Amino acid sequence: MHSEIFRCRSMSEEVFYHIEVPSTGHVTCSCQGTNWCSHIEATLVFGERAMVYPDDRAAADRAQALAKGRLDRPRWWKATWQSNRRWRGLAVKEPKALDLLRQGVPVVSLEGRGKKRTRAEELARRNGWETVYAPTKGVLIHVSDAANDDPRCKRARELGIATVTHDHWPLIAPHADAIKAKLDTLAKSEAAS
């Protein structure tokens, strides 16, 4: 019995799964998918190739032809792989904050609700800060009264972003001009080198 086998990268780890398409019978993926998983759907139904090991792309093309008409999407299937642009080899949009930072604009992410948040946003605007809702690359300060185990505070820590409370934000906000001047100096030194 003839089979086509190719490798497909995992979405979350740097490992490759093996997809086997026999001439008859079930299509399988070593991720435990039998006839259906994101790896099978992406490569054999939609013809995506970025996640296929480069040396195996011709085998994936042959496997797709061999599997044609044999794969039916299960009713329960809720695919999320299409939103994973990096896995699909598509351009990944950079965060707004990173673009603003490159333009020399200091960026703060604000967490909270009601009057505290409104006051923090107004203070940021008056002092020349741009605001975003979540800590991403390019954010300089994250303002939050949440506990340290809050997901956004954890994300800020992972990115090396300083987190301050709403009570401390009025002490930091007025320094946007000094921060902007430092950013401009850094940008000029990078351009010169």
Query: Mind listing the pLDDT tens digit for each residue in 80-103?
Result: 899 998 899 998 888 889 888 888
Rounded to whole angstroms, the Cα distance separating 8 from 60 reads 9
What are the residues facing 130 on neighbouring strands?
A: 107
**CA distances to 36, 52, 79 from 76, in Å:** 11, 25, 10
Domains in the chain (CATH in brackets) are: 3-88 (no CATH), 96-192 (3.40.50.10190)
Give the pLDDT score at 176.
84
* Ordered alpha helix ranges (H), 22-175: 38-40, 57-67, 85-88, 96-102, 114-126, 151-158, 169-172
Strands 28-29 and 107-110 come out as unpaired
Give the pLDDT score at 190.
64
- What number is the average pLDDT over the span 41-66? 96
Which of the four pLDDT bands, split at 50, 70 and 90, describes residue 54? very high
Query: Does the model's pTM come out above 0.95?
Result: no
Residue found under tokens 């001047």: 181
For residue 38, pLDDT over 90 is answered with yes
